[in-house]
Structure 1
Amino acid sequence: MRRLTESIIRHPLATLLTFLALVGLSAIGGLQVFPSLQSSGYNDPNSESSRAFTILKEDFGDHPAELAIILDFHRNADDPASEALTKKIVDKIDGLSGIDHVDTYYSMGRLPSLKSTDGEAAYVFVTYSDTTPASRSAETKLIESTLGSQFDGADVYYTGVAAMAVALNESISKDLSLAESIAIPLSLILLVFVFGSVVAAGLPLIVGGLGILGSFFFIWLATLSTDVSVFALNLLTGMGLGLGIDYSLLIVNRFREERLAGKPVTEAATAGRTVLFSGLTVAVVTASMILFPQYFLRSFAYAGIAVVGMAVAGALIALPAVLTLLGDRVNAWRVIRISKTTSDTGAWARLSRFVMKNAVLVLVVTLAALGGLIALGSSAKFGLVDERILPASAPIAVASEIQRDRFDGQEAKPVSIVVEGATPDQFASYVADLSKLDHIVRVQSPLGITVDGKTDSRPAQLFASYDNGDAKRIIAIHDVEARSSEGVTLTENVRALDPPFTALVGGIAADYADSLNGIAERLPWVIAWIAVSTFILLFLFTGSILLPVKAVLLNLVSLLSTLGLLTWVFLDGHLRNLLGGFTLTGSIDASMFILIAVVTFGLSMDYELFLLSRIKEQHELGKSTTDSVAVGLQRSGRIITAAALVLAVNFLPFVTSGVSTVKMLGLGIAFAILLDATVVRALLVPALMKLFGDANWWAPKWMKKIADKAGLAH
């Protein structure tokens, strides 16, 4: 670490220019990433429902339309004028580039499910020839601009995967701009109060901004080989600016300390080691999300690794070069006078000594208070998102509400089953048993239509395409909301029939159930990854057995407290108007909470390392645990609080988003890191370290040798 710093100090200008050039070139490619991002990614590609979807698509030509258009004629949809208007619209769409084919209520045999229950609205389905994200987005925008929201007296509503992708991309792009316009000036103000000078305050902000620009390039690279969620950008900007500022804050603060003490610039390498190790810890923790099958969650692993890498690179390469060039001019443009002397008996030291003097009382009272917050999370219900994450006034949300209110939703969201290897008798028996299940309205198969075990074979010719010789297709119409606990139960009941042949159960309800199961199955592995890797890294950093265990348990307390707050807000609806309004869905998005948990766990380790590095320095100088904690907290408390405030300022503006899950991300991470940096670090850590005494630093001799050999402890 020191050799790297010395090399940078010898060639500061060349180092800085090279870094800026690389970031600039990366930004040119990276800023093209937006059209390539996806809005879905919640399904498990290895699940039974995904295998059923693949077979239906490849063997039965069941290629779902990317865009669904609802035409509200304000008259009977079967009126010849309505049909003529639809044909006119189809001709308009067919004349555009990138269109494979268009289906309508009329071309599909006037199926009742394709017409509204009041008879005045009907569907048009558009299938694209190129379904890559960028092409699909461009084609959808072209159709929307061509038809508008009204066409010859008919109201036009857009829904489906393509419309959702466009709506989310546009909303998140606007949200990011708004969030950054709030976060950047507030961060600068906070940093001015921390450092007292505009120059010193501006450096962390610049490093954070450069980190974001560079990170876009790595996300763009990822899109070339895999699907990446558009939501990854929210994490990238929040963490990019926040971590870049945090790490730079630590470097600049240590630099100023050492210069005031008359030491050379190279002493900043001490803080650099802490930053490097902190970045490694955060990267390892966020990388755990790559274990999930859903690319929505894996996307955050890509974003987390990229943004942490850029934040560390900026703090350890660009910043030392700038500090070398500036020297003591880093304190230029002073607007607030900050004391040039450091005291080990300040407010933070006094607080820690008070806490340690009353360790048991502080521990009991603090945990009791947090226990009340944790209790709120006991009623948490988890699910997955749908279009209701957008504002109720958003065009696609309005279209989706029309679907719910005026169309038979169960007709458009059936259970789809692929059957292979069944004899005629086995197939007939299975269809009959399926039709007798609760909430199954009817079953469509090559045999005809089956209701309550009785089959009407007269419509069988309509479903002749359901048998391709190798496999048979079954469509089971039901009367429950597909993306709900009732839909999960229905899927379980269908699969419980367990016939003596292959029957792959798919459809929206099955996809929803499989997605939740996919998360639940991988979650223990993710938890194990985080717990074990964190323990190993913290042990190597501290040489202690107890301190890593304490860190993991205290982080768990922070996460459970955060779950309590999110349940109170997003499930119970408190503070709804204060946060700009959002639609209550009856559940907390499981994927987004996992993201919040993983990110806050990693960021909490940041503050743990900042604090422990200072405490350990004092302990290695021979001071008692009480004095080490007091001095360590005094020297790091201000920086940890400032870092937490800056990170909170970078995530909290996300509550202005029109997307409710982004609101949850911003509020959840901001609350968790502020709680961790104040209550946990200032109260619980000193209290526990006082109670543990010398045991804080204990480890078996053979393990101590491993830590010493690794050379990470300092």
Structure 2
Amino acid sequence: MTTLARLVVRHRWWVIAAWIVVALCGAFGASRATSALSYDFSLPGQSGYETNADITREFGSGGDNAPVLVVSKAAPGGSVDVESGSRIAAAAASAAPGARIASYTTHPELISRDRSTAVTVVYPKVVPGADPYVTSLPALQQVAKESTSATTSVAVTGVDALNAGGGGGVNVLVETIVGGVGALVVLALVFGSFLAITPLLTAAASILTTFLILWGLTSITEVSFIVQYLLALIGLGVAIDYALLIVTRWREARGNGYDGEQAVEQTLATAGRAVLFSGITVAVSLAALIALPVPFLRSIGFTGLLIPLISVVAALTLVPALLSVAGTKLEWPHRRSTSPDSRLWRRVGTVVVRHRWASTAIAVIVLAVLAIPVASLNLSSPTNASLASVGGPAGQAVDAVADAGLGSGLTTPVEIVTDSPQSIVEALRGRPGVAGVVAPTEWQRGSTHIVDAWTTVDSSTPEGGRAAADIRTVAEQHGGRVGGITAQNADFIDAVYGNIWWVLLLIVVVTFALLATALRSIVLPLKALVLNAFSLAAAFGVTVFIWQEGHGTSLLFGQDGAGAITIWIPVAVFAFLFGLSMDYEVFLLSRIKEEHDAGASTDTATIDGVARTGRLVTSAALILFLAFISLAQVPVTDVKILATALALGIILDATIVRGVLAPALVAALGPANWWVPKWWPGRATRQLQTESRTAS
């Protein structure tokens, strides 16, 4: 690190110029990168996905694309007109050329028993991009408007119409700016000087550089649209984390009498090593997603690998260069002490160390209570009720379908490809949990037919999911191939969570090796892994409590609880929170070890470590929290759930886990923290250093 520091300081203007050039190229490539992102959730080799791909290829619609429902509802005491159903079907065919349509005029399953509510099912042809029905959905909404009469109201609903009801929201650039403003406020409070802009400049350079690499990556492989949110906001948080640590230690070195190049060398010799190992640990945890057999998660893994590595490079080169050029000028007006010591966190550390076992017990109990809801985790898509709760005609229409007894599962039917549709219809019709089955003669290509069956209750609920699985079983027993959203979701769960233990093992082994090397201890890495498990369980539990069970979602987000946690969110949250929380663990333990190596007892080193990293960790966590709050403004329920899990996970980790439980356990374990086996490299040297300190 000393060599790197001298090299950066010697060529500081070249370093700054290189980052400016790369960042400008990244600014040019950012919009091109985002426009090249994929909205495909492919699962190669899984039967549900392959069936959906065949349906879309043969018919141009359906498969994992939910239908649009044109809902006719008669005035109180009236009934829907059969002739109007024919007119709606004809108008829908004209508005969405090539669409598959099933009308209630020919399929009694689509009209309620009291004839007050009826549905025309439309599968428009899909177009690539974020919105597969970008032209057809507005056209069908116009058909509904023109079909409304004094006696019958007509409205469009379905998964896409319900999601569109969430409103416009903000884009990635706006979210990043909002997160950046929040970060600037926090940094200004931390430094009390213009040094606050240094981490922000570093974050901007890191994010733009990563977008530049992402642009190149999109030309090689498909990259999911989700990464644009994670790259911008995770990048903002991680880059600021590392730059914040470097700048804080640089100010401390200046306060200890180091000047110019010496201050930079001292900073990289201490904080630089922590940043390097922390960044590698985060990168490894995110890169583990590459091992999963799901292209969409692999792309998140590739991007997640880039974010921390680029941030580390920026923190170890751009930040020292900026500090050597303008650091002393940026210290104005210097309203903060150069010492990283926090009186508040010193008091916290002292209390925790003094009452180590009580602190451990209280923290574990709190985390265990928060984790309890995980036991009821339901992996699926947000329910109709949740999507409908944001209001609008689409929400009212989907409620009307459910109230009329037509089956809430109609928004996500099971699509069955078969050569003998009649046998499947007969096998499914009247089966418990099945609301209806249709097999329009028009849904045929050669000898291939499509049969749609849907559940009585919402397929996103546990009961609805079991009914959809039963439909799949029966259809496959009769020679059918099953697709649709529910089948693909089930395949995703099998493919990802059936193989997740490989990913967990990989992350645990590599993380342990990295931390053991960085901390030169066997016990501390084991403790860190256990604490991460507690932290993640609590984060998942609170997310289930809020989003699946619906506690507080109306107040916080203006909609009902999702009734489920979207299937891909737990694995993504695990990868990101595991890596990010390891940042804080490395910051804390590195400082504790540094103090211990300098001769302090374990108790004193723990208190000093907490006092000198507490403000840093909480500030970094607050910045990430604000970034995720910004992400929660995206009008997509899935992204809101992800942002909630990440925001709560970061706060819980930085306070209860790293502020209380981690130091309490270090103090409780005492000398055992520093134990290493006899064969451990450098053990003899460490033992001599320990004996020397003891003798002195």
Partner of 2:268: 269
Distance 2:144 2:59 in 1: 31
TM-score, reference length from structure 2: 0.82
Q: How many residues align?
A: 669
Distance 2:154 2:474 in 1: 42
Distance 2:624 2:435 in 1: 52
Partner of 2:307: 307
Partner of 2:370: 373
Q: Deviations over 1:39-63 (max 9, x none)?
A: 562x6443222233344455x6474
Q: Kindly provide the amino acid, as one letter, of the partner of residue 202 in structure 2.
A: V
Distance 1:322 1:707 in 2: 40
Question: Quick check: 1:615 aligned with 2:611?
Answer: no
Distance 2:368 2:72 in 1: 56
Partner of 1:648: 625
Shift of 1:480: 4.8
Counterpart contact for 2:543–2:645, Cα < 8 Å: yes
2:125 is paired with a residue whose SS is: strand
Distance 1:346 1:412 in 2: 57
Shift of 1:384: 2.9
Shift of 1:3: 3.1
Counterpart contact for 1:283–1:308, Cα < 8 Å: yes
Shift of 1:188: 1.4
Distance 2:291 2:388 in 1: 28
CA distance 1:669–1:700, change in 2 (3 Å): same
Question: Quick check: 1:214 aligned with 2:226?
Answer: no
CA distance 1:414–1:691, change in 2 (3 Å): closer
Distance 2:283 2:383 in 1: 30
Q: Kindly provide the amino acid, as one letter, of the partner of residue 335 in structure 2.
A: R
Shift of 1:607: 0.7
Shift of 1:105: 5.5
Shift of 1:349: 3.9
Partner of 1:47: 46
Partner of 1:189: 185
1:127 is paired with a residue whose SS is: coil
Counterpart contact for 2:409–2:464, Cα < 8 Å: no
Distance 1:685 1:478 in 2: 48
| Superposed counterparts of 1:199-238, under 5 Å | 199-238=194-233
Partner of 2:693: none
2:32 is paired with a residue whose SS is: coil
Find 1:382's aligned residue among 379, 382, 385: 379
| Superposed counterparts of 1:306-705, under 5 Å | 306-332=306-332, 334=333, 337-340=335-338, 346-385=343-382, 388-389=386-387, 392-393=390-391, 401=399, 404=402, 414-417=413-416, 438-439=432-433, 462=441, 465=444, 468=447, 479-490=456-467, 492-493=469-470, 504-704=481-681
Counterpart contact for 2:381–2:567, Cα < 8 Å: yes
Q: Kindly provide the amino acid, as one letter, of the partner of residue 533 in structure 1.
A: V
Counterpart contact for 2:88–2:143, Cα < 8 Å: no
Counterpart contact for 1:140–1:166, Cα < 8 Å: no
Q: Kindly provide the amino acid, as one letter, of the partner of residue 192 in structure 1.
A: A
Q: Deviations over 1:175-210 (max 9, x none)?
A: 64554454333321211111110x201111222233
Shift of 1:550: 0.4
Q: Kindly provide the amino acid, as one letter, of the partner of residue 126 in structure 1.
A: P
Question: Quick check: 1:17 aligned with 2:17?
Answer: yes
CA distance 1:142–1:563, change in 2 (3 Å): closer
Q: Kindly provide the amino acid, as one letter, of the partner of residue 651 in structure 1.
A: F
Distance 2:144 2:434 in 1: 36
Q: Kindly provide the amino acid, as one letter, of the partner of residue 587 in structure 2.
A: F
2:124 is paired with a residue whose SS is: strand
Shift of 1:331: 0.3
Q: Kindly provide the amino acid, as one letter, of the partner of residue 308 in structure 1.
A: P
List runs of 5+ in structure 2 lacking aligned partners.
Answer: 687-696
Shift of 1:311: 2.1
CA distance 1:39–1:112, change in 2 (3 Å): farther
Shift of 1:657: 4.3
Identity of aligned residues (%): 29
Partner of 1:251: 246
Quick check: 587-596 or 83-92, which moved more? 83-92
CA distance 1:222–1:398, change in 2 (3 Å): farther
CA distance 1:630–1:552, change in 2 (3 Å): same
2:667 is paired with a residue whose SS is: helix
Distance 2:157 2:518 in 1: 52
Counterpart contact for 1:104–1:125, Cα < 8 Å: yes
List runs of 5+ in structure 1 lacking aligned partners.
Answer: 95-100, 446-458, 710-714
Counterpart contact for 1:243–1:308, Cα < 8 Å: yes
CA distance 1:315–1:573, change in 2 (3 Å): same
Distance 1:433 1:89 in 2: 30
1:262 is paired with a residue whose SS is: coil
